[in-house]
Structure 1
Amino acid sequence: MDFEKIVSDHKCRSCIISVERYQDGGFGNIRVVAANKAHREDSERVFNHPFVPDSPYTDSLPQDKNFEDFMYRCACLGQPLHTYVHVEHMGLWVNMFLLPLESDKENIGYCLYSCDISPYADSEQQASLSAETATHVLEISIKLQGAKKDDIRQVFRDIIEDIRKICGAEHCCILYHDITNRKYINFCEAMNPQSPLQPDAIYNNEKFYDIANSFDSAIRGSSCLIIKDEHDLAWLESVDPDLYSLLLENGVKSGILFPLKHNDQILGYLWALNYNVEETVKIKETLELSTFLIASEIANYQLMKQLEILSSIDILTGCKNRNCMNNYVDDVISGKAELPEPYAVVFADLNGLKRVNDEKGHSVGDSILRTAAAILSQVFYDCDVYRAGGDEFMLIIKDGDVDETSIKSKIGQLKEKSAIDTDVNFAAGYYIANKGEDIRTAMRLADEKMYIDKKEYYAKHPELKYR
């Protein structure tokens, strides 16, 4: 067959690729036996040496394990293939076509490879999916876009179950990377009830965090990591023995691992274990775009959680703020939050803070507020501490011993600890609700008792300015 003639008629980058086929279903040497002018020129520009016919494919094309699988499927199994992928380490988008060619050699397969390369993503090419794939991706997109703030985790659980079924996998999971706490969180998962797999044994492995941190190096610049048979497992053992051992010890025979990236930052990974390897190409095509959508939504979810934290935390003291307090009270009143009796409301106010601000400056006053918040959190360690406003704090005791003796003891500890710092002095009041009182009534009565305590303090120290 005149391979030079075949490729010379193509205007876009094109070459003829040969794949050595083994009897056990594996493959060996992959070579570029002929190339057209566009491919030769591109090879010389990128790889800095002239193209040589029948040379290893890595001399003129980027090395990629998933690309090798595509070439094998086309050249040896006779499958015509098309895909649109991002070559991560080169920063390029490649629209590639592979067509099988006849071979006169028993152990060698041939295919025609043509591609178009761009530094930018083409939305039309991303949308040029098979009808089945497009349907799956559209369904995932609709679920993500229709998700409400309070049911987003359930939506992700539904989606991961959909993906598990698409993959025909025993287990499917999104692992969220919690960088601050150095761990991977099982964000959502789906499991075939008949599967003998025990994924918790994988995630709870003491080395899992370090192993997961090596995922990106195992992917090696590809869009994903695909392990479909014993040949791929042998390859994985050579590049990442720890991951190989972890999977093998827990009965994993095949898997697909996709990074979830947003603005070049890895948010986590999606993986499917013991999947239907016969559908590898379709699964890869579906997950290629689905993971892009999922990563974007996780980034939005992450942002919303950060905004939620910022909207509920007092930046100065680290306590929950008045907005958070009001929301909780509203939830109790509406029945959204349960507050079983007995419970207690405690109000604590700083005596003399205005005098400190006037005489020593607001920076000293801010330091006193931070110290006061720390003392409150230490004494009432099992309660949420709210900064109700200014120098006033509120706590709700709803767990443990809610009785006069216990609360008086803690208020005594509060005043003992604050006595160590001459500028920190608490007035405090409390009310125990056990007769069906409205929480707002309990708050009002606790606040009134706190002001009685404050008046008693100034009665003993008339030389100090009020407030």
Structure 2
Amino acid sequence: MDFDKILSHYKANACVMSVELYPDGSYGNIRVVAGNKAHCEEMESTQGRPFVPDCPYEFCFPKNQNFEDHCFRCVQSGKPLHAYVNLYMMGLWLNMFLMPLDSDREDVGYCVYCYDVAPKADSSAMADLSGDTASNVLKACIKLRGAENVKQTFQEVVEDIRKSCESDQCCILLTDAENRECSIFAESTREGLKVQPMSRYVEGFYAIAETWPETLAGSTCIIVKDEREMEKLRLTNPIWGSMLDLSGVKTIMLFPLRHGGELLGYLWTVNFNVNNTLIIKETLEVTTFLIASEISSYLLLNKLQTLSTIDSLTGVKNRNVMNNRIDQIVAGRKPTPKAVIFADLNGLKYTNDEQGHLSGDKVLRSAAEILQYVFPKEDVYRAGGDEFMVLASDITEDELNTRIAKIRTMAKLSENVYFSIGVCCGEPDVRRAMHVADERMYVDKKSFYIEHPELKYR
């Protein structure tokens, strides 16, 4: 067959791939037997060397298990294939088309590989999907775009993905490299299946998740659809392979969730319908792109909300949140707390002046930790520089006195933490309660400095 003549009609990058076919249904060597002018020029510019016909494919392209599988499926099925994938290791997007060719040999199949690479995603290429794939992606997109309860909507999307894959389980796992932690963002398991939810295994699972980038080895996903491929995975990643075996996993498809160059986590589906492998892969390639974008936005909004509500130094709620809570109580939209506690630090200026502001910050953090420990279910606020307020919703006066005593005991055991405390319990007017607690706190402060004049701020 005159491959050069066939390729001469292609303007885009194109080459002919050969796939060695084995009698057992597997494949062997994959080679690039011919290339058109555009392909040769691409190789010259990217590889820095001329294209050599009939070379192993990895001389031209990055070695990739999924690419090999696509070539094999194309020649085996005799059907054209299309994929649009993110080559995240190279910072490129690849639009690829595979078209089967006739072969005069039973042990070798051929296909034309036509491809284009770009530094950014092309929405038109991403939208060029089969009808079933487009329907599934559109359903997920509509749900995510109109979501009010984001976590609940993601749960529904994961349920839809599991059903479309006809799989036993589907899960979105978020990873935190800084803290070496994982968390389950959404999970769906087939009804009646006797498997433990992933949430049971998530503690300490980061040690497994951090091996996946090496297992991916630059691929856009990991696909295991039969025992032969599972055995390859066991050899590549024995610890994860053993875990999959113990969990009864026979097939798995795993996609990294990336957005803006950042790895957010992974989506996987296990024991899926292998007869629909290509449709499932195509669906998840685009769906995970959308999911990663939505998760990134969700995490950013959560971070901004945290920054706007949490005091960055101490980790307790800030003054803005406190003022909003008081306004809601006064307006009758929130119940009146049973008790208001003001706790002000004594000697903080002395610590800052004598030991430095880092020591003063440490005192503030220690004070906040004490208050959160003693009032674990209540809202603790940093009302000002060295002043904290606690609103206790359901507490008796005796219990309140016990907890105040505990604060003082813990403060004595801490370095440089000296509290002045004022409380008001049972006052129905929250602003009046705050005024009373504040006055009592200053009485306590006056007594403290009489006993410890050396700590009085200058």
Normalised to the residue count of structure 2, the TM-score between the two structures is 0.86
Say yes or no: does 1:429 pair with 2:422: yes
Closer/same/farther in 2, CA of residues 361 and 125 from structure 1, 3 Å limit:
same
Counterpart position of 1:289: 286
Q: Which residue in the other structure is 1:214 paired with?
A: 211
Distance 1:198 1:314, change over 3 A: closer
- 1:89 counterpart SS class: coil
Which whole-Å CA distance do the structure 2 matches of 1:441 and 1:307 have between them?
A: 33
Cα separation, partners in 2 of 1:382 and 1:10, compared to 1, 3 Å: same
Residue 381 (structure 2) aligns with: 386
Aligned residue in 2 for 1:345: 340
1:389 partner SS: coil
User: Is 1:163–1:172's contact at 8 Å kept on the other side of the alignment?
Assistant: yes
1:264 corresponds to which of 254, 261, 264: 261
Whether contact under 8 Å (2:184, 2:202) holds in the other structure is no
Structure 2 CA distance, aligned partners of 1:28 and 1:421?
68
The more displaced of 216-225 and 195-204 is 195-204
Flag the 1:360–1:152 CA change in 2: closer, same or farther, 3 A: closer
Taking structure 1 as reference, are residues 374 and 247 closer, same or farther at Cα in structure 2, changes over 3 Å only? same
Report deviation, 1:454.
4.8
The 5 A counterparts of 1:22-61 are 22-61=22-61
Aligned equivalent of 1:153: 151
The alignment partner of 1:90 has SS state of coil
Matches within 5 A, 1:127-142: 127-142=127-142
Asked if the contact 2:182–2:202 (Cα under 8 Å) also holds between the matched residues in 1, the reply is no
Contact 1:316 1:370 in 2 (8 A): no
Q: Shift in Å at residue 106 of structure 1?
A: 2.3
- Residue from 276, 288, 293 that aligns with 2:273: 276
Aligned residues, how many? 455
Task: Compute the displacement of 1:47 (Å).
Answer: 3.7
Per-residue CA deviations over 1:244-285 (Å, capped at 9, x if unaligned) read 221122111111111111111101011111112222222222
More displaced 10-residue stretch of structure 1: 304-313 or 372-381: 372-381
How high is the sequence identity, in percent, across the aligned residues? 47
- The 1:466/1:12 distance shift into structure 2, 3 A limit, reads closer
Q: Equivalent residue for 2:65? A: 65
Q: Let me know the Cα RMSD of the aligned residues.
A: 3.5
Q: More displaced, 376-385 or 232-241?
A: 376-385
1:182 matched to 2:177? The reply is no
- Which range is displaced more, 298-307 or 456-465? 456-465
Distance in 1 (alpha carbons) for counterparts of 2:151 and 2:346: 45
How far the C-alpha of 1:192 sits from its partner, in A, is 0.8
Q: Is the 8 A contact 1:16 1:35 kept in 2?
A: yes
How far off its partner does 1:121 sit?
Answer: 2.7
Residue pair 1:143, 1:155 contacting (<8 A) in 2 also: yes
Give the match's secondary structure for 1:381.
Answer: helix
- Look up the match of 2:171: 173
Indicate whether 1:8 and 2:5 are aligned.
no
Pair 1:97-2:97 in alignment = yes
1:143 and 2:143 aligned: yes
For the structure 1 residues 458 and 37, does the alpha-carbon distance in structure 2 shift closer, same or farther, using more than 3 Å as the test? closer
DSSP 3-state at the match of 1:25 = coil
TM-score, normalization: structure 1? 0.84
Residue in structure 1 matched with residue 21 of structure 2 by the alignment:
21
Q: After alignment, is 322-331 or 304-313 more displaced?
A: 322-331
Equivalent residue in structure 2 for 1:249, among 246, 249, 261: 246
Residues 329 and 176 of structure 1: is their aligned pair in 2 closer, same or farther, counting only changes over 3 Å?
Answer: farther
Tell me the equivalent position of 1:395.
Answer: 390
Unpaired runs of 5+ in structure 2?
none
Structure 1 letter corresponding to 2:262? Q
Deviations for 1:327-366, whole angstroms, at most 9, x for unmatched residues?
Answer: 4456677898789x9x53322234577xx58x98699689
User: C-alpha offsets along residues 170-216 of structure 1, whole Å, 9 cap, x if unaligned?
Assistant: 1111100123431211111111113344353983585x322210111
**Within 1, Cα distance between the matches of 2:190 and 2:87?**
33
Distance 1:309 1:46, change over 3 A: same
The range that moved more, 124-133 or 61-70, is 124-133
One-letter amino acid of the structure 1 residue matched with residue 171 of structure 2 = C
Q: Supply the AA of the counterpart residue of 1:431.
A: C
Q: Which amino acid in 1 is paired with 2:288?
A: T
Pick closer, same or farther for the CA change 1:414–1:81 going to 2, 3 Å. Answer: closer
Q: Is the 8 A contact 1:347 1:392 kept in 2?
A: yes
1:263 is matched by which residue type in structure 2? G
2:340 and 2:423 in contact (8 A); partners too: yes
SS in 1 for 2:89: helix
Aligned partner of 1:411 in structure 2 is 404
Aligned counterpart for 2:295 among listed residues 294, 298, 302: 298
In the TM superposition, what is the alpha-carbon distance from 1:66 to its structure 2 partner?
Answer: 0.9
Give how far 1:157 is off.
0.8
Change over 3 Å in CA distance of 1:329–1:134 after alignment to 2? farther
Which position in structure 2 is the counterpart of 1:374?
366
Q: Do the aligned partners of 1:19 and 1:76 also contact (CA within 8 Å) in 2? A: no
Q: Secondary structure at the match of 2:373?
A: coil
Bigger CA drift: 304-313 or 413-422?
413-422
Q: Give the Cα–Cα distance (whole angstroms) in 1 for the partners of residues 272 and 255 of structure 2.
A: 14
Q: CA deviation at 1:367?
A: 5.3
Do the aligned partners of 1:379 and 1:410 also contact (CA within 8 Å) in 2? no
